[in-house]
């Protein structure tokens, strides 16, 4: 039988279930990654499971998010992460070594492997032909302990690329085109598998820009074949032996095919406040730009930054525009320093930041009030930059660099000749900032600063509940709405009682107080509830405040899984019209929950305020229902052992 590439990788790792779209399957995980903002919880959970050493082929703990040390919290968390990694057989990538996805691509990823990461942009690894999936920290902890990863078997969509990109049009424009066509909900329940004659012209870092932003479509993963370009990249990393060729069989079947002619694409941007609000730069027009930020796990490879430096060389950024650059990895940073490109960037007036997520997650460099910021990043959700009324446009490094020079949003084709930049034969590899685990784990003492608070664990689900609707939201609520990030709140990631005070802070600052005062409740959401990040804090903190169920029109994949992992019921409406009538403050009565969950299907709920029946669907697999009833995945896993 002819098979597509995604099914081949899944089949080679299948532990349970049937590979039919919509069915629950379980796959073996070869590699894991965590970053610091989700990692502290993931390792506390791993520790609670009592497994002495990670059982994967390789597990890596990165520090890249919380690097602005404005108090003791982040530094304490780094020490905790370093020591717990050393003790439990996990590699530790030190702060300053780079953004997890970029470094993992450079140093650890391999075609054909499965990678589970506690960050939604883990599918970046798909650029190398691996099946890389983002998940909550608890799922990653289970995978480190040797457990399989459960997911709904996705549909596989073939994105067939033909033609070749024109000068000044780049990988970012390809994924912006996919977002324009499919929207931020368009990838839910799907793997986007790239193929076609256009693939061979794209390097691994370009492919990684595309798979990275598959997260913005809500896709389970995105994957490219492994070919000569993959081999060239791995050889340049001194890892040619990790290569194997991988591709879909000729005539492989797909659930859907989408054609994109690369030669027809033009420079584009995603306009505020959604990554799918895409238009051509020439149609958006020359709006004034206050800030340009270049970097993030989407666009900070060697070739991206070399192109930026060639564009800026010998010129000066516009006097009204601030340009900040954060290289994606120490490898990239060192190469720019060595070949003089860094000097060109500095001379042009760029403000150079350390290699980390930085402004992408609001860790500094917030734009001015009502400012326009053009960013090479992947998310432009309202307020994420740290400035509530800023307007963020997502665009390629070429558009960003051109706009930094002119001070207005600029189609880079106006700049003339496109600078030729190629991938080096050999990257500057140096793994001295990646610490291997200790050969004497018994001697390692785990350092726990006062910021590390014990992990709250939910109670088993009650059979009946009577709860108020604490909040009603619209469509496409992001995890940045539910659990905001930024330099003030991120340092509290290992302190759930403290961080829970900020749940829904930008939507309704009184939410946390109201939830605590009512002893818990229900959240009502629209379509694609919980899109965006993998942060399990968006489930863990509401759980701490007493949220027992979220009733929404539909859910984003990772957030739904996180709700279940922390014992919160994700419910949908049998009839979406019921969403309209449900209001904040109304009291819902759920009865016969245990039987309702075990028997599958619908739950009967009474809206006591209106004295009306409400039909809600749970769609939980038997395993998921058992997890909820046990009070979350940690309790469930303990019950099994
Ligand atoms: C993000 O881009 O939103 C983050 C910060 O990387 C998150 C993870 C987190 O919240 O820690 C993600 O994408 O999963
Ligand atoms: Fe970091 Fe931004 Fe990438 Fe998230 S999207 S991992 S915050 S660079």
With a 6 A CB cut-off, is 297 part of the ligand 2 pocket?
yes
Rg (CA), the chain: 23
Q: What is the DSSP letter of 213?
A: G
With a 6 A CB cut-off, is 496 part of the ligand 2 pocket?
no
> pLDDT digit string (tens) for 22-55?
999 999 999 999 999 999 999 999 999 999 999 9
How far does residue 312's CA lie from ligand 2's centre (Å)? 25
Between CA 114 and CA 9 the distance in angstroms is 8
In the predicted model, what is the mean pLDDT of residues 613-638?
94
Among 73, 70, 86, CA closest to 36? 73
Between CA 562 and CA 134 the distance in angstroms is 11
Q: What is the mean pLDDT of the chain?
A: 97
Asked whether the predicted pLDDT for residue 1 surpasses 80, the reply is no
How far does residue 348's CA lie from ligand 1's centre (Å)? 31
Between CA 627 and CA 568 the distance in angstroms is 10
With a 6 A CB cut-off, is 378 part of the ligand 1 pocket?
no
Nearest atom, ligand 2, residue 37 CA = 7
With a 6 A CB cut-off, is 99 part of the ligand 2 pocket?
yes
Query: Which of 117, 361, 392 gets mutated to test ligand 2 (max ligand atoms within 8 A of its CB)?
Result: 361
Nearest atom, ligand 1, residue 378 CA = 2
Residue nearest to atom 2 of ligand 2 (CA): 360
How far does residue 640's CA lie from ligand 2's centre (Å)? 35
Q: Which ligand is nearest to the CA of 124?
A: 2
Confidence label for 173 from pLDDT (cuts 50, 70 and 90): very high
Asked whether the predicted pLDDT for residue 441 surpasses 80, the reply is yes
How far does residue 323's CA lie from ligand 2's centre (Å)? 19
Supply the pLDDT for residue 376: 98
Q: How far from 338 is each of 103, 314, 326, 492, 493, CA to CA, in Å?
A: 19, 18, 17, 37, 36
Supply the pLDDT for residue 623: 96
With a 6 A CB cut-off, is 135 part of the ligand 2 pocket?
no
Nearest atom, ligand 2, residue 361 CA = 7
Asked whether the predicted pLDDT for residue 156 surpasses 90, the reply is yes
> pLDDT digit string (tens) for 480-508?
999 999 999 999 999 999 999 999 999 99
Q: Which ligand is nearest to the CA of 558?
A: 1
Supply the pLDDT for residue 641: 72
Confidence label for 637 from pLDDT (cuts 50, 70 and 90): confident
How far does residue 360's CA lie from ligand 1's centre (Å)? 9
Asked whether the predicted pLDDT for residue 213 surpasses 80, the reply is yes
Residue nearest to atom 13 of ligand 1 (CA): 533
Confidence label for 222 from pLDDT (cuts 50, 70 and 90): very high
Tokens of 118: 């506690």
With a 6 A CB cut-off, is 298 part of the ligand 1 pocket?
no
Supply the pLDDT for residue 219: 98
Could you give the domains of the chain? 5-264 (3.30.499.10), 268-411 (3.30.499.10), 465-640 (3.20.19.10)
Asked whether the predicted pLDDT for residue 600 surpasses 80, the reply is no
> pLDDT digit string (tens) for 135-149?
999 999 999 999 999
**pTM of the entire structure?**
0.98
Query: Which of 33, 34, 38 gets mutated to test ligand 1 (max ligand atoms within 8 A of its CB)?
Result: 38
Between CA 119 and CA 125 the distance in angstroms is 12
Residue 184's contacts (CB-CB under 8 Å, 6 or more residues apart) are: 216, 217, 218, 274, 275, 276, 476, 528, 531
Supply the pLDDT for residue 638: 83
With a 6 A CB cut-off, is 398 part of the ligand 2 pocket?
no
With a 6 A CB cut-off, is 120 part of the ligand 2 pocket?
no
In the predicted model, what is the mean pLDDT of residues 156-174?
98
With a 6 A CB cut-off, is 37 part of the ligand 1 pocket?
yes
How far does residue 540's CA lie from ligand 2's centre (Å)? 20
> pLDDT digit string (tens) for 66-102?
999 999 999 999 999 999 999 999 999 999 999 999 9
């Amino acid at each position: 039988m002819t098979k597509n590439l995604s099914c081949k990788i899944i089949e080679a790792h299948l532990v349970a279930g049937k590979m039919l779209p919509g069915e629950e399957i379980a796959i073996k995980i070869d590699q894991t990654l965590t970053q610091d903002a989700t990692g502290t919880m993931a390792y506390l959970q791993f520790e609670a499971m009592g497994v002495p050493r990670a059982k994967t082929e390789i597990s890596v703990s990165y520090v890249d998010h919380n690097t602005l040390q404005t108090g003791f919290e982040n530094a304490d968390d780094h020490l905790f992460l370093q020591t717990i990694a050393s003790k439990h057989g996990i590699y530790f990538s030190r702060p300053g070594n780079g953004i997890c996805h970029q470094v993992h691509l450079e140093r650890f990823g391999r075609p054909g492997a499965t990678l589970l990461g506690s960050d939604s942009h883990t599918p970046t690894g798909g650029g190398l032909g691996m099946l890389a999936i983002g998940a909550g920290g608890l799922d990653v902890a289970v995978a480190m302990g040797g457990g399989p990863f459960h997911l709904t078997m996705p549909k596989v969509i073939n994105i067939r690329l033909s033609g070749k990109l024109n000068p000044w049009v780049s990988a970012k424009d390809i994924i912006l085109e996919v977002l324009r066509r499919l929207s931020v909900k368009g990838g839910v329940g799907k793997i986007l598998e790239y193929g076609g004659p256009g693939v061979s012209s794209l390097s691994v870092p370009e492919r990684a820009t595309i798979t990275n932003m598959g997260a913005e479509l809500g896709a389970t993963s995105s994957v490219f074949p492994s070919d000569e370009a993959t081999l060239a990249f791995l050889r340049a990393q001194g890892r040619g032996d990790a290569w194997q060729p991988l591709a879909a069989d000729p005539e492989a079947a797909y659930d859907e095919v989408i054609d994109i002619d690369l030669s027809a694409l033009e420079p584009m941007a995603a306009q505020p406040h959604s990554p799918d609000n895409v238009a051509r730069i020439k149609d958006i027009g020359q709006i004034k730009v206050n800030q340009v930020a270049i970097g993030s796990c989407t666009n900070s490879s060697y070739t991206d930054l070399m192109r930026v430096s060639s564009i800026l060389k010998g010129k000066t950024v516009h006097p009204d525009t601030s340009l900040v650059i954060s290289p994606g990895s120490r490898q990239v940073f060192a190469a720019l320093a060595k070949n003089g490109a860094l000097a060109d960037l500095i001379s042009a007036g760029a403000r150079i930041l350390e290699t980390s997520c930085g402004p992408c997650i609001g860790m500094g460099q917030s734009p001015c009030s009502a400012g326009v910021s053009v960013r090479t990043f992947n998310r432009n959700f309202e307020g994420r930059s740290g400035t509530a009324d800023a307007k963020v446009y997502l665009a390629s490094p070429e558009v960003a660099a051109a706009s930094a020079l002119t001070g207005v949003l600029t189609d880079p084709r106006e700049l003339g000749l496109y600078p030729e930049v190629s991938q080096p034969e050999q990257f500057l590899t140096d793994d001295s900032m990646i610490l291997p685990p200790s050969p004497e784990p018994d001697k390692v003492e785990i350092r726990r600063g006062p910021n590390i608070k014990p992990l709250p664990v939910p109670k088993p689900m009650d059979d009946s509940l009577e709860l108020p609707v604490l909040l009603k939201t619209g469509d496409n609520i992001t995890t940045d709405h539910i659990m905001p990030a930024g330099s003030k709140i991120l340092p509290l990631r290992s302190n759930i009682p403290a961080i829970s005070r900020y749940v829904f802070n930008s939507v309704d600052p009184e939410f946390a107080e109201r939830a605590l005062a009512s002893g818990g409740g229900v959240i009502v959401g629209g379509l694609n509830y919980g899109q965006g990040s993998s942060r399990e804090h968006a489930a863990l903190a509401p759980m701490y405040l007493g949220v027992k169920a979220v009733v929404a029109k539909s859910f984003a994949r990772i957030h739904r899984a996180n709700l279940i992992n922390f014992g919160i019921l994700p419910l949908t409406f049998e009839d979406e019209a019921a969403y309209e009538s449900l209001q904040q403050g109304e009291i819902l009565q759920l009865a016969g929950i245990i039987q309702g969950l075990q028997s599958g299907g619908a739950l009967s709920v009474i809206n006591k305020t209106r004295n009306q029946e409400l039909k809600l669907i749970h769609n939980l697999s038997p395993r998921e229902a058992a997890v909820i009833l046990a009070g979350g995945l940690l309790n469930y896993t303990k019950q099994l052992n």
